[in-house]
Structure 1
């Protein structure tokens, strides 16, 4: 770790029907990053995700309907800005991201506005094959060119966002499929933000079954290409502002769970 992060950090956990996994994920985050707060954004779940997160000790933001990862993260960014946090880190509810690596991402924020936990950066044994792998390689090469730095895993959801980029994402974070990864990085670069990466492990899901098949991988390839094209040609108001977002947060409740 190059330097210690000294600001206030919020760990944002988007969760949709993750009752079986989210409690243990929250507890592991609290053990690994005791000085950070954990906000679980319950993205319209129909199970007991919110209750499990509260019982584990997390703050819980309950959205009235499912918005997808991008919508859940935008709500998390707005919460972070309004409550004066200096950084927000996305950690998946299913346990695939290792909370012990969060301090590595936060430490890198002294030299970049966004830090990606990269699965293909000489750490761990995470592998993908076929069309999905081709899509990831092409996306990483194009986005490396856009960002003017080498990025090997531009679809990773394990990311730290610093104080300069928080207001930008609170207002402009994309909610479309793959927008939370591909398009968000293009928006950040156009706003003058810098991006870097650190190696990260990818672990098996704690619960549930990952959805992979040749057909879904092929669909992913097409949708990823379209998302990249859209990100490159779309025009955004991407001025980075340090003010609180004007757009209200969706109707929700925030509660602190009992540890």
Structure 2
């Protein structure tokens, strides 16, 4: 399968080169594009030196806009599979073969920290948030999910086209699952280990966490009501 790795990056000069090297080591057949989301450091220069193609946004558009840019790139270049990986080193390239194998029979594959026991540990507050969203999405879609906030995902041509057309803007991981379920996509989870970020710092502050919880919950509930409307009209 013609495969593209999409890496959204904002001020990740300290980790991006190692992320690209790990991908080259464990999946040498894939292409890599870094969506440099208006970084103020040397992210673009370092990523190019490591061998990746780079799309540089003129200003910071956020994770949603960055990812949609990556999916548009995948769509127009006719990739069979597009895989989202973080630029901070949390996602392991060693797990790519597992996601790509499952992508042969699923529209979207999520690398989950919780479908099986892994070494990953999070703070109590973050774990509560993860459990809340996994339960919420499981309830509204009728499919059990364990890790709806994971950004380690593999999408086939159908999902690439859907995400190129629309991708949620703010903190999109949760809402984008419901969006696909509304369109009848097959979604699977596979086990994936995750590490602590290698450099830099998370953009999610306590205030943003509250905004995230409220905004995403409302978005999911609105999407769920639209799902019920489609089923009723059908």
**Counterpart-to-counterpart distance in 1, 2:68 and 2:167:** 6
**Counterpart-to-counterpart distance in 2, 1:145 and 1:236:** 12
Give the aligned partner of residue 184 of structure 2: 192
RMSD of aligned residue pairs (Cα, Å) = 2.2
Q: Given that residues 141 and 224 in structure 2 are in contact (C-alpha distance below 8 angstroms), is that contact kept between their aligned partners in structure 1?
A: no
Cα 1:236–1:85 shift into 2, 3 Å: farther
The alignment partner of 1:233 has SS state of: helix
**1:48-63 maps to which residues of 2 (within 5 A)?**
48-63=42-57
Q: TM-score scaled to structure 1, two decimals?
A: 0.81
If asked which structure has higher relative contact order (CA below 8 Å, sep 6+), I would say 1
**Counterpart-to-counterpart distance in 1, 2:25 and 2:158:** 27
What runs of 5+ residues in structure 1 fail to find an aligned partner? 1-6, 239-259
What runs of 5+ residues in structure 2 fail to find an aligned partner? 228-234
The alignment partner of 2:120 has SS state of: coil
Q: Please state which structure has a larger fraction of its residues in helix.
A: 2
**Counterpart-to-counterpart distance in 2, 1:235 and 1:125:** 33
Counterpart check, 1:157 vs 2:146: no
Q: TM-score scaled to structure 2, two decimals?
A: 0.89
**Counterpart-to-counterpart distance in 2, 1:71 and 1:22:** 19
The alignment partner of 2:15 has SS state of: helix
**1:159-238 maps to which residues of 2 (within 5 A)?**
159-176=153-170, 179-210=171-202, 216=205, 220=209, 223-234=212-223
Q: Given that residues 135 and 225 in structure 1 are in contact (C-alpha distance below 8 angstroms), is that contact kept between their aligned partners in structure 2?
A: no
**Counterpart-to-counterpart distance in 2, 1:62 and 1:43:** 6
Give the aligned partner of residue 74 of structure 2: 80
**Counterpart-to-counterpart distance in 1, 2:102 and 2:111:** 11
